[in-house]
Amino acid sequence: MVLDIMDIFMHDAIEEALKGLEEGGVPIGAVLVEDGKIIGRGRNKRVQQGDQLMHAEIDCLRNARLTGGYHNTIIYSTLMPCYLCAGAMVQFGIKKVIVGESNSAPEASHFMESHGIEVINLDLKECRELMEIYIKKNPKLWDEFLSELNPDLLLSPELKSRSNCISIKEEKKAL
């Protein structure tokens, strides 16, 4: 089987997520690509470092080499970025975000798109399963993680123990 470049870079993001999982953290990984080369890698280190701001995309940007800007870069993330990470992408002028899945966490895709960022959701089984298994094994930690991202997500009892998170938009429609 021949992998296209998108699959190769997403594979690297998945490897970062797996490293985070091995370290006892939330399995979310990201890579930043410029001209077909990875210039930054990162993984969620919230648990490992006790730092609620150390999301995979933020770690990736912190580890990226300095450039004249990130306008010609693409970020690959195993999970749809939250608003914190999406804001960083807007701030740094990243024009394309490719994600492995968006079912497990709230998404900021509309926010990114409204700021001119192209968002592609690959909806990869491997990324979905990685998060589903993690959430089932760590529901309390995942709920804590989500509450830091947006406390409104934990309004209903159904959301507190779910293994398939739904977006805020879908939750509000259900109300």
Decide if 44 contacts 20 (C-beta within 8 A). yes
Give catalytic status of residue 126 as yes or no: no
Burial label for 150, CB within 10 Å (0-12, 13-18, 19+), is middle
Check 15, 23, 34, 57 and give the catalytic one.
Answer: 57
Question: Taken in order 123, 26, 110, 69, is the CA torsion positive or negative?
Answer: negative
Phi/psi of residue 45, each to 5°?
-125, 25
Cα separation of 159 and 173, whole Å? 14
List the catalytic residues.
57
